[in-house]
Amino acid sequence: MISPEKSIPAGIRDVDFGAGVTVIEPVNLYGCKISAGCFVGPFVEIQNDVTIGCRTRIQSHSFVCSLVTIGADCFVGHGVMFINDSFSNGGPARGDRSLWKPTKIGDHVSIGSNATIMPVTICDDVVIGAGSVVTKSIIEPGIYAGNPARKLN
């Protein structure tokens, strides 16, 4: 356990930034790649082994966990949560990264505020409604919403 006086401060470390990235602090970004022209709002955490494609916007209070790839020209609304541990053994992985699963988001994907994205793949040209919970991969462009998220059009 790390005592408070020895804790590592939140901030930005070991990030591969492309040209023209805008970051509004405070943030917690580490071990990730954020491509050219991206925007990252305040109170966002982006963990290691995450790649964010060009011109993608991530709004405030969102959490992008390890093993997430987000394509180009995407929008991630306020308070969106990405999950890499599906509790496949009945509880949290407790640091066992072998139980974590990746998430891949295509290009031109918009994710509404407060959505939860489980370990899935989402194809290009998808809109996820606010508050939706994506539990299964999406292989067809369109608009999806609900819990679990379903195609609307």
Superfamily in which the 10-86+97-151 domain is placed by CATH: Hexapeptide repeat proteins (2.160.10.10)
Q: Print burial letters for 64-83: b (CB count within 10 Å at least 16), e (below 16).
A: bbbbbbbbbbbbbbbbbebb
Residue 132 main-chain phi, psi, to 5 deg: -75, 155
Whether pLDDT at 117 is above 50: yes
Residue 110 main-chain phi, psi, to 5 deg: -115, 130
Q: pTM for the complete prediction?
A: 0.92
Encode pLDDT of 46-85 as tens digits: 999 999 999 999 999 999 999 999 999 999 999 999 999 9
pLDDT for residue 1: 41
Whether pLDDT at 6 is above 80: no
Whether pLDDT at 2 is above 60: no
In 25-76, where does DSSP find H-type helix? none
